[in-house]
Structure 1
Amino acid sequence: MTTRLNHWTAAPKVMQAMMALEKASRSNGLEHSLLELVKTRASIINRCAFCLDMHTREARAAGETEERLIMLAAWEEATCYTPRERAALAWVDALTRLAETGAPDAAFEAMAAEFSAEEQVALTLAIVTINGWNRFAVGFRAEPARGGKVAA
Structure 2
Amino acid sequence: MEKIAYQDIPDGMFQKLNNLEDFINQSLLEKSLLKLIKLRVSQINGCAYCVDMHHKELKHINETELRLSSLVVWRETPYFSEKERAALNFAEELTILSNTPINNKIYNTLETHFSKKEISFLALAITQINTWNRLMKTFLFTPGNYKVNS
Scaled by the length of structure 1, what TM-score is found?
A: 0.89
| Corresponding residue of 2:93 | 94
Q: How does 1:96-115 map to 2 (within 5 A)?
A: 96-99=95-98, 102-115=101-114
Q: Distance in 1 between matches of 2:99 and 2:55?
A: 26
Could you tell me the TM-score, scaled by structure 2's length? 0.90
Cα separation, 2, equivalents of 1:3 and 1:36: 25
Would the aligned equivalents of 1:94 and 1:101 in 2 still touch at CA under 8 Å? no
Cα distance in 1 between the residues matched to 2:7 and 2:94: 26
Alignment length (residue pairs):
146
Find the counterpart in structure 2 of residue 150 from structure 1. Answer: none
Query: Residue type of the partner of 2:143?
Result: P
In structure 1, what is the Cα distance between the partners aligned to 2:38 and 2:140? 18
1:1-152 → structure 2 map (5 Å cutoff): 2-7=1-6, 9-99=8-98, 102-146=101-145
- Could you list the per-position Cα deviations for residues 90-138 of structure 1 after superposition, in whole angstroms to 9, with x for gaps in the alignment? 0000000113774211211111111011111111111111111111111
Cα 1:100–1:146 shift into 2, 3 Å: farther
Worse-superposed segment, 7-16 or 56-65: 7-16
Deviation at residue 10 of structure 1 after TM alignment: 2.2
Secondary structure of the 2:12 match is: helix
Residues 31-54 of structure 1 show CA distances to partners (whole Å, capped at 9, x for unaligned) of 111111100000000001111111
Change (3 A) 1:7 1:99: farther
Label 1:101 to 1:52 Cα distance change in 2 as closer, same or farther (>3 A): farther
Residue identity over aligned pairs, in percent, reads: 36
CA distance in 2, matches of 1:6, 1:120: 35
Q: Gapped runs of 5+ residues in structure 2? A: none
Judged with a 3 Å threshold, the aligned counterparts in structure 2 of structure 1 residues 70 and 125 are, in CA distance, closer, same or farther, namely same
Deviation at 1:22, TM superposition (A): 1.2
**Partner Cα distance (1:52, 1:71) in 2:** 14
Amino acid at match of 2:9: A
Structure 1: 5+ residue stretches without partners: 148-152
CA distance in 2, matches of 1:84, 1:14: 33
Report the secondary structure of 1:90's partner residue.
helix
Counterpart of 1:76 in 2: which secondary structure?
Answer: helix
Contact kept, 8 Å, 1:28 with 1:122, in 2: the verdict is yes
Q: What is the Cα-based RMSD across aligned positions, in Å?
A: 1.7
Q: Quick one: structure 1 residues 82 and 6, their matched pair in 2 at CA, closer, same or farther if it must change by over 3 Å?
A: same
